[in-house]
């Protein structure tokens, strides 16, 4: 189905904003523990998966629910999506990501400011259990982002036109990737989920938001998605 440009644009804005709103909100909820002592990593993994569920359900009838520049680029490269719509989708996803992060900031603003504006907006390398504690080098997060997005894109391609049930498969896949590969780098799996909130964090003066680490969640999800499309087309022959 060829997308209708205005409807598809706002569908991607809507879906991506909801995805990022609830993903960043889950991170803030886990870190700030404003209610019921939200359990850290479970809140992140399950919250991120459920955020995908909401975003896909809201936008699928309007745009097909890409909500991810890596997905859009990989579908176009594989011949599943018209290249002429790629700039429109990428712009919508970036705008949606920024709006979603802004909504999460407004909701948690008091708590974030009270704790000195911790970075709940974007991903980064996890800590190694050493004395003193050190961070993962970029290699582990890069591999995790590539393989995690490969898994996500493989499910997208396999699900095809499964209707609304595809949203559940994608939500469970993101949660599974979070549990299985989230440790090294935080499983962005989506440049719009990381870069747009990172831009807002940079504007707000959040420490580390301007780090060159942004290249990991910007590039390696695209690599993983392209790899999944390549394998899918090879096996489909």
**Span 10-31, pLDDT tens digits:** 999 999 999 999 999 999 988 8
CA distance 101 to 122: 10
pLDDT at 35: 64
pLDDT confidence bin for 161, thresholds 50/70/90:
low
70 Cβ contact list (under 8 Å, min separation 6)? 149, 153, 189, 190, 191, 221, 222, 224, 225
The reported pLDDT for the residue numbered 162 is: 66
**pLDDT-based confidence at residue 36 (cuts at 50, 70, 90):** low
pTM of the model: 0.92
Calculate mean pLDDT across residues 194-218. 94
Instruction: Name the nearest CA neighbour of 233 among 157, 175, 147, 136.
Output: 157
Q: Domain 5-119+126-236: what homologous superfamily?
A: Glycerol uptake facilitator protein. (1.20.1080.10)
Structure confidence at residue 165 (pLDDT): 84
The token pair that represents 75 in the structure block = 């579908």
Confidence of residue 163 (pLDDT cuts 50, 70, 90): low
How does DSSP assign 182-219, residue by residue? HHHH-----HHHHHHHHHHHHHHT-TTTT-GGGHHHHH
Average pLDDT, the chain: 91
Is the pLDDT at 148 greater than 70, yes or no?
A: yes
Average pLDDT over residues 191-195: 96
Per-residue pLDDT band for 85 (boundaries 50, 70, 90) equals: very high
Domain boundaries, the chain: 5-119+126-236
pLDDT of res. 15:
97
């Amino acid at each position: 189905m060829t997308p209708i440009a205005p409807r598809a644009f706002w569908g991607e804005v809507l879906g991506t904003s909801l995805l990022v709103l609830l993903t960043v909100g889950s991170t803030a909820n886990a870190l700030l523990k404003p209610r019921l002592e939200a359990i850290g990593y479970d809140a992140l993994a399950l919250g991120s998966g459920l955020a995908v569920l909401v975003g896909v359900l809201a936008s699928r009838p309007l745009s097909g629910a890409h909500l991810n520049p890596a997905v859009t680029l990989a579908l176009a490269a594989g011949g599943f999506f018209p290249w002429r719509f790629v700039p429109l989708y990428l712009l919508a996803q970036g705008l949606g990501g920024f709006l979603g992060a802004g909504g999460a900031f407004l909701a948690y603003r008091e708590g974030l400011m009270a704790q000195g504006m911790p970075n709940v907006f974007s991903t980064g390398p996890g800590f190694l259990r050493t004395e003193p504690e050190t961070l993962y080098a970029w290699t582990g997060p890069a591999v995790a982002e590539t393989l995690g997005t490969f898994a996500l894109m493989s499910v997208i391609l396999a699900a095809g036109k499964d209707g609304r049930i595809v949203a559940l498969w994608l939500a469970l896949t993101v949660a599974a990737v979070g549990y299985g590969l989230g440790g090294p780098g935080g499983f962005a799996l989506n440049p719009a989920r990381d870069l747009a909130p990172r831009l807002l964090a940079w504007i707000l003066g959040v420490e580390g938001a301007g780090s060159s680490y942004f290249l990991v969640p910007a590039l390696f999800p695209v690599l993983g998605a392209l790899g999944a499309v390549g394998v899918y087309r090879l096996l489909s022959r």
